[in-house]
Structure 1
Amino acid sequence: MGKFFFGFFIFSTFVFLFADTPVKTNKNDIVGGIAITVNGDPITLYQIEQAQKDLKISKKKAIDMLIAQRIKAQEIKRLNINVDDSRIEEEIENIAKHNGMDRDNFVSALINQGINYGKYKDELKEQIQTQELLRNVLLSNVNTAGETEMREYYNKHKEEFSIPKEVETIRYVSKDPEALKKALGNPMMKISGVDRGEEKISLEALNPQVAQVFIKTDKNAFTPILNAGEGSYVSFFIKDKIGHIEVPFEQAKNFIAQKLVEGSQDRILDEYFEKIRVKAKINIIRE
């Protein structure tokens, strides 16, 4: 079996910052002594050297990365971000589906490729915790987006809020994403496990984020495959777009706030973690 998708992607800006360096913590690791403490949490000389060796980076970058890891872990604890086994299992099932497998076959594939399943679950838990932490940071900025700034965006991007009143579609839905992909590639062929039917959708009743999917998809084309919930996936073939309406500002506010945050996501995250680092008690014991 070839390579396949093992997990979900987290904000690219922080892939290095929060890289999951294997940090061993058995008793022998303390031989080199504690080099740095971050709010009381230790970083040893051994961990710094191991990070340099594993990631082939300079000592300064290794130290910065390990400090960032400690700060991230402390923020996860402070915000009480808990990820239980049921959440991890749910994510594993979703990953398996994206790879066209059931859970058991996916786990077997991991083991066959020499991946330790227990370690995989631990790393997946950390990924989910990191995703939740970064989502909390961004959502807090959505809530503070200024009314004036949002109004300016609305007035400058009127075309984003001028939408068809309705779209006529053919809905393709399946619990098997691979079968759905096959159906989209062969729309005239009857594919087992894929149901389809005509549906007229009122965009006025949808929130702007969802409506944008139909707006950006051309006539005689398929929307991206969407998660329909309860283990189902769906895509819509756009037959026609009918009428014309403008989404009022009040209805569009949440969408605009999210757009503004997305546009400055890197800056927001940089500033957030830099503020925490500045306030952190970082004690350099030895170098």
Structure 2
Amino acid sequence: MKKLFFLLLPLFLLGKLVDGIAIKVNGIPITLFDIEQAQRELGVSKPKAVQFLIRYSLEEYEIKRLNIEVTQEEIDNGIDRMLAQSGIPSKEILFRTLSLQGISKDEFLEKIKKEIAHSKLYRMVASSKVAQPSLQELRDIYSQNMERWKIADRYYITLYMSRDIGVLKEKLSNPLRFSRGVQIENRVLRWGDISPELQNILSNLHEGEFSKIFPFGGRYAFLYLSRKEGERVLEFDEVVDEIRNRELLLRQKRAVDSYFEKKRATAVIEYLR
């Protein structure tokens, strides 16, 4: 996504009819503009953009059919979680940042509402179809992925930070290029002192690799991992909750994908142009 990348659903999914209708899914229109925007914002081919939008329209149809509603409290809680994850200190600063990026408060709130509705749909679909993994299944996953549980005592990194995500993207594409507005710091991080989010980023990096861009203290950042010291393998008891959560998410995704494959087979899909 181009701007506030921590938002899950791109803005083209807000349902504005600004161009000719190309496809209808159970009566829900997909316009030529929707398809072009999906291609640009998701960085995919036209056929993949069409498939994404058909799936999204099927989800919208199910939300309406199942009368899934979103309360104001759920919206407020969703915004609070977003603020905590992104490091933005207040709603006022968030809305001001959005305004500078050309996103109105109403558009943002509608976007959050849609994200929550889709999340509730996924939970509803998966709740009756997904079994909890057994302890033995979790142990098997642990033993089959030992590299995944390797950590280090200390991580020597270079941290690149900016309030402008566009500038930071340019820096990530060419780290040796001078970029005004990017703050660079060398740091040594100890595993026990960093957040779970940063632990997850570091555990997926090898020496000599750059991370993806992530929210960091009200700004955006990426890091370069130069070296690690004091490597060890986490014990099963230290990661069992993480393994369980990952496995549940994987099973839920499979259940939801299977559900919508069946819904698509019976949907009325009209290709108009």
TM range (shorter): 0.5 to 0.7
Point out the more displaced range, 142-151 or 253-262: 142-151
Q: What is the letter of the counterpart of residue 264 of structure 1? A: R
Aligned-pair CA distance for 1:67: 6.0
Which has the higher Rg, Structure 1 or Structure 2? Answer: 1
1:170 to 158, 181, 184: 158
Give the TM-score of the pair, scaled to structure 1: 0.55
**Alpha-carbon distance in 2 for matches of 1:137, 1:206:** 34
Q: CA deviation at 1:265?
A: 2.6
SS at match of 2:209: coil
2:213 maps to 225
Which residue of 1 is the match for residue 251 of structure 2? 264
Larger relative contact order (CA 8 Å, sep ≥ 6): 2
- Equivalent of residue 83 in structure 1, options 57, 75, 78: 75
Counterpart of 1:104 in structure 2 is 99
Structural mapping, 1:150-229, within 5 Å:
150-206=138-194, 210-229=198-217
RMSD: 4.7
CA contact (8 A) 2:132 2:248 kept: no
Alpha-carbon distance in structure 2 between the residues aligned to 1:6 and 1:202: 29
1:197 maps to amino acid? E
CA–CA distance in 1 between the matches of 2:179 and 2:137?
48
Contact 1:170 1:237 in 2 (8 A): yes
Q: Is the 8 A contact 1:81 1:133 kept in 2?
A: no
TM-score in terms of structure 2 length: 0.58
- What is the Cα deviation at residue 245 of structure 1? 0.8
Cα distance in 2 between the residues matched to 1:218 and 1:243: 14
1: CA distance, partners of 2:204 / 2:108: 37
| Distance change in 2, residues 1:171/1:137 (3 Å) | farther
One-letter amino acid of the structure 2 residue matched with residue 70 of structure 1: K
Q: Which amino acid is the alignment partner of residue 98 of structure 2?
A: R
Superposed CA offset, 1:136-163 (max 9, x none): 6699799944333222211221221122
Q: What is the rounded CA distance, in whole Å, between the counterparts of 1:238 and 1:136 in structure 2?
A: 36
Q: Against the structure 1 CA distance between its residues 232 and 4, is the aligned structure 2 distance closer, same or farther, given a 3 Å change threshold?
A: closer
Identity of paired residues, percent? 17
CA distance in 2, matches of 1:181, 1:252: 32
Offset, 1:135: 7.3
CA deviations 1:80-128 (Å, max 9, x no partner) are 862149939x89xx9xxxxxx9433433xx6xxxxxx687356414323
1:220-265, CA deviations, whole angstroms, 9 ceiling, x for partnerless residues? 2211111113x21121111112231111222212210122123223
Change (3 A) 1:164 1:121: closer
Residue aligned with 1:264, SS: helix
Please, which of 74, 79, 91 is the counterpart of residue 68 of structure 2? 74
Tell me whether 1:247 sits opposite 2:234 in the alignment. Answer: yes
Q: Secondary structure at the match of 1:83?
A: helix
Shift in Å at residue 131 of structure 1? Answer: 4.8
Runs of 5+ consecutive residues of structure 2 not aligned to the other structure: 17-23, 32-54, 89-95, 261-273
Pairwise mapping of residues 117-136 of structure 1 onto structure 2 (< 5 A)? 120-121=107-108, 123-133=110-120
- 1:50: Cα distance to partner? 9.6
What is the match of residue 225 of structure 2?
Answer: 238
Contact persistence 2:68–2:121 (CA under 8 A): no
CA distance in 2: counterparts of 1:71 and 1:260, whole angstroms: 29
Q: Does the CA-based 8 Å contact 1:81-1:132 persist in structure 2?
A: no
Report the CA distance shift for 1:102/1:199 in structure 2 as closer, same or farther (over 3 A).
Answer: same
Q: Is the 8 A contact 2:130 2:255 kept in 1?
A: no
**Deviating more after overlay: 259-268 vs 244-253:** 259-268
Rate the CA distance shift 1:272–1:255 in 2: closer, same or farther, 3 A. farther
| Alignment coverage as a number of residue pairs | 216
- Structure 1 gap ranges (5+): 11-18, 23-48, 95-100, 111-116, 274-287
